[in-house]
């Protein structure tokens, strides 16, 4: 494989940091003039670097679907303020802090006609406010904007929130002076409320809540505010920046990073934009200087509005069989101090077996040659790790079996300032960003030049990976998380998966003989199966014999989008049936959809997903299958 030293010397930490700084100055909201300005600025960077770049445009129109992603209107904003009447106080100002307005808010001008501000101080459960009339009022809601629809159903014309998403890794107190990135995502269906509102810091929110209580305690009614939002929603466009390094053929390796998110938003994801642009810059420059050869296969970078842009791009570029693999970079440059996690490689799902995971891991090893130890053996200074597949970004679109371009993700979690106003330039570490950039370079260039003599390196890493996954599974059994029946069948599932990974070498190097490696991998598992006394006994419900096929390409973006196709009541009934834990179903959604192949019975699908999730998911699978059939996304074979 390509000697990484030449790449390491060519990558500039200063360029990386400068691009983060430049990109983060733009308020990069999906489908907005501000995002377009950022995309146009990136085009200028590409021109300066001598890169072959195109600015692609797609419709932002609620009547348009790109694969399974329903589009929405473009949004522009000029000004937005929220003023308290008595005492006089400016609570929010878009010109000073772009995140202080809820993104995609509808317009309002009550500067000369103040409205009541009603504090919702009984928690976030709508049942606590059954007798409350919010008609014509603003509500001070302490919860997430995503859970605020009921407030509009009670007549409110807007909300104010100081919500901070708390996790095991961060508390409201730690972000007391920050603001949460909040947005409406309108589906543009009949009866959908016109959402609008403002975001406060927890400190300002607590202060305002105290003032509200004092006002009401004195019998003085409600505080009043003067909301003003000068915005528009209209049919417009989204943009995708496509950068190309031509290969000797048109088979393609992809890099991807989302360009969207509010002003500042440095680690998420100006870091990914910077890392991938520098990767393309370095590869392109070294080719022109004849220090490395032109790649056999083409390398493309797409800078997109997250999810939306990838759905649009892949709806327009449908020669999926030419895609050899991809890497998505999302949050890859945070200083690895308190609550900034390792740079993490998220692997492809079971439904997309490939050796790309192993190449990504080798690329991380190359990037990790950051310093020499006393034994002169290079060591990594950047904390990094490898994890099983999970969703959350554009890699899930590429990995869907109907597209089948194996895509890993390079990311960073936890991130203390994720989706807040304090995701600023000071959280970026150029050395960490360089590590991520080098990983992308080594992955993309080596995949684009994969030769037969290099495949054994992938198999060697595959065998390391097999042992890691076997040990992970065995530990779950030892700790009592799964029983021996689950342990046995999950081991057989791993065997089938890794044998299929071996077969993917034939796509990377046509004609490559994988038979001996397949036999070796199978023998590794057979030995463990004998040692542990395992059997493939996890049951299949033979009464569930229906076979379904998919009627769509790509993953499902948002189930709520299908309300626009007349399935609103069906979706409401589904949400009602799954109760208070909708995420329990959502967590199996991708694995379930990926298992629907027109061959497996429902019983076999349940078994497949249960083994992946290491728990019995029969009820959840049946609920989800019923919904998918009701909204015509699947049909019986």
Decide which of 179, 210, 233 is a domain's last residue.
233
In this structure, the answer to whether residues 205 and 280 fall within a common structural domain is no
In this structure, the answer to whether residues 284 and 432 fall within a common structural domain is yes
Alpha helices in 229-341 (DSSP H): 271-288, 308-316
Whether residue 582 has pLDDT greater than 80:
no
Residue whose token pair is 């130890």: 373
**In CATH, what number is assigned to the domain containing residue 358?**
3.40.630.10
pTM of the model: 0.96
In this structure, the answer to whether residues 246 and 395 fall within a common structural domain is yes
Report the relative pairing of strands 236-245 and 297-304 from DSSP bridges: antiparallel
Q: How far apart are CA 179 and CA 517, in angstroms?
A: 53
pLDDT of the residue at 375: 79
The verdict on residue 537 lying in a domain is no
**In CATH, what number is assigned to the domain containing residue 203?**
3.50.30.30
The sign one gets for the Cα dihedral 20, 26, 28, 31 is: negative
The verdict on residue 540 lying in a domain is no
Our count of domains for the chain comes to: 4
The verdict on residue 169 lying in a domain is yes
* Mean predicted confidence (pLDDT) in 279-308: 98
CA 279 to chain centre: 21
In this structure, the answer to whether residues 293 and 435 fall within a common structural domain is yes
Decide which of 413, 435, 450 is a domain's last residue.
450
Q: What is the mean pLDDT of the chain?
A: 96
pLDDT of the residue at 262: 98
The verdict on residue 121 lying in a domain is yes
pLDDT of the residue at 327: 99
- Residues 550/402, Cβ–Cβ less than 8 Å: yes
pLDDT of the residue at 339: 85
pLDDT of the residue at 581: 66
Q: What is the DSSP letter of 295?
A: P
pLDDT of the residue at 586: 73
In this structure, the answer to whether residues 472 and 617 fall within a common structural domain is no
In Å, what is the CA distance from 431 to each residue of 108, 280, 347, 574?
Answer: 45, 18, 23, 47
pLDDT of the residue at 578: 81
* Mean predicted confidence (pLDDT) in 253-272: 98
In this structure, the answer to whether residues 275 and 338 fall within a common structural domain is yes
Least confident of 15-24, 225-234, 488-497, 572-581: 572-581
In this structure, the answer to whether residues 144 and 283 fall within a common structural domain is no
The verdict on residue 62 lying in a domain is yes
Residue 152, classed as helix, strand or coil, is: helix
Cα of first residue to Cα of last residue in the chain, in angstroms, is 46
> How sure is the predictor about 576, in pLDDT bands with cuts at 50, 70 and 90?
confident
In this structure, the answer to whether residues 207 and 136 fall within a common structural domain is yes
Please compute, for residue 90, the number of CA atoms within 13 A of its CA located in the half-sphere on the CB side.
Answer: 11
The verdict on residue 539 lying in a domain is no
- Residues 297/325, Cβ–Cβ less than 8 Å: no
Decide which of 233, 251, 270 is a domain's last residue.
233
pLDDT digits (tens, 9 = 90+) for 603-617: 999 999 999 999 999
Q: How far apart are CA 52 and CA 29, in angstroms?
A: 25
Whether residue 585 has pLDDT greater than 80:
no
Owning domain of residue 587 = 548-636
What are the two backbone dihedrals, phi and then psi, of residue 227, each rounded to the nearest 5 degrees?
-80, 140
> How sure is the predictor about 2, in pLDDT bands with cuts at 50, 70 and 90?
low
Whether residue 374 has pLDDT greater than 90:
no
- Number of residues assigned to the chain: 637
- Residues 492/506, Cβ–Cβ less than 8 Å: no
pLDDT of the residue at 583: 67
In this structure, the answer to whether residues 91 and 124 fall within a common structural domain is yes
pLDDT of the residue at 187: 82
Q: How far apart are CA 312 and CA 117, in angstroms?
A: 40
- Residues 438/367, Cβ–Cβ less than 8 Å: yes
Residue 101 in tokens: 């307005």
In this structure, the answer to whether residues 224 and 291 fall within a common structural domain is no
> How sure is the predictor about 580, in pLDDT bands with cuts at 50, 70 and 90?
low
The verdict on residue 250 lying in a domain is yes
Whether residue 231 has pLDDT greater than 80:
yes
pLDDT digits (tens, 9 = 90+) for 176-188: 999 999 999 988 8
The verdict on residue 260 lying in a domain is yes
> How sure is the predictor about 190, in pLDDT bands with cuts at 50, 70 and 90?
confident
- Residues 276/321, Cβ–Cβ less than 8 Å: no
In this structure, the answer to whether residues 44 and 188 fall within a common structural domain is no
In this structure, the answer to whether residues 219 and 267 fall within a common structural domain is no
């Amino acid at each position: 494989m390509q000697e990484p030293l030449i790449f390491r010397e060519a990558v500039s930490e200063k360029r990386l940091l400068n691009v983060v700084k430049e990109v983060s100055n733009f308020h990069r909201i999906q489908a907005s003039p501000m995002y377009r300005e950022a995309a146009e600025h990136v085009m200028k960077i590409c021109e300066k670097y001598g890169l072959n770049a195109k600015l692609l445009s797609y419709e932002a129109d609620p009547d348009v679907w790109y694969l399974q992603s329903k589009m929405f209107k473009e949004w522009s904003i000029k000004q937005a303020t929220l003023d308290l009447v008595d005492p006089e106080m400016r609570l929010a100002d878009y010109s000073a802090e772009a995140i202080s307005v809820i993104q995609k808010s509808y317009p309002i001008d009550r500067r000369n006609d103040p409205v009541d501000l009603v504090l919702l101080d009984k928690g976030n459960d709508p049942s606590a406010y059954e007798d409350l009339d919010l008609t014509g009022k603003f509500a001070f809601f302490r919860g997430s904007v995503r859970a605020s629809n009921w407030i509009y159903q009670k007549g409110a014309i807007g909300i104010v929130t100081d919500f901070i998403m708390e996790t095991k890794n961060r508390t409201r107190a730690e972000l007391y002076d920050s603001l949460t990135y909040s947005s409406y995502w309108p589906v543009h269906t009949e009866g959908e409320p016109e959402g609008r509102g403002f975001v406060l810091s927890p400190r300002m929110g607590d202060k305002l809540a105290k003032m509200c209580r004092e006002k009401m305690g004195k019998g003085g009614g409600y505080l009043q505010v003067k909301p003003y939002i000068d915005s528009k929603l209209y049919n417009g466009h989204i943009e995708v920046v496509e950068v190309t390094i031509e290969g000797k053929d048109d088979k393609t390796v992809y890099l991807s990073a989302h360009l969207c998110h509010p002003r500042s938003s440095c680690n998420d994801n100006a870091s990914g934009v910077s890392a991938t642009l520098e990767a393309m810059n370095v590869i392109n420059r070294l080719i022109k200087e004849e220090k490395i050869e032109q790649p056999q296969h083409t390398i493309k970078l797409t800078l997109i509005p997250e999810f939306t842009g990838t759905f649009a791009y892949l709806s327009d570029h449908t020669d999926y069989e030419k895609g050899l693999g991809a890497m998505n970079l999302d949050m890859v440059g945070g200083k690895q101090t308190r609550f900034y996690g390792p740079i993490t490689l998220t692997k492809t799902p079971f439904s997309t077996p490939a050796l790309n995971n192993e190449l990504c891991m080798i690329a991380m090893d190359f990037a990790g040659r950051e310093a020499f130890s006393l034994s002169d053996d290079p060591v990594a200074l950047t904390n990094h790790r490898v994890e099983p597949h999970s969703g959350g970004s554009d890699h899930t679109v590429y990995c869907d079996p109907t597209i089948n371009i194996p895509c890993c993700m390079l990311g960073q979690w936890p991130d203390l300032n994720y989706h807040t106003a304090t995701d600023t330039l000071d959280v970026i570490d150029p050395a960490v960003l360089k590590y991520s950039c080098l990983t992308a370079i080594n992955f993309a260039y080596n995949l684009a030049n994969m030769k037969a003599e290099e495949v054994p390196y992938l198999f060697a890493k595959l065998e390391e990976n097999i042992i890691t996954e076997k040990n992970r599974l065995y530990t779950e059994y030892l700790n009592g998380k799964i029983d021996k029946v689950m342990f046995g069948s999950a081991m057989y599932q791993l065997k089938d998966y890794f044998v299929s990974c071996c077969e993917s070498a034939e796509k990377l190097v046509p004609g490559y003989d994988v038979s001996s490696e397949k036999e070796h991998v199978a023998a590794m598992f057979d030995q463990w199966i004998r040692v542990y006394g395992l059997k493939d006994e996890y049951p299949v419900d033979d009464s569930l014999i229906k076979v379904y096929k998919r009627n769509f390409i790509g993953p499902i973006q948002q189930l709520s989008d299908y309300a626009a196709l007349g399935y609103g009541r069906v979706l409401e009934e589904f949400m009602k049936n799954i109760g208070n834990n909708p995420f329990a179903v959502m967590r199996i959604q991708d694995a379930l959809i990926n298992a629907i192949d027109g061959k497996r019975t429902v019983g076999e699908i349940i078994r497949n997903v249960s083994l992946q999730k290491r728990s019995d998911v029969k009820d959840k699978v049946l609920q989800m299958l019923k919904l998918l059939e009701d909204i015509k996304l699947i049909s019986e074979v």
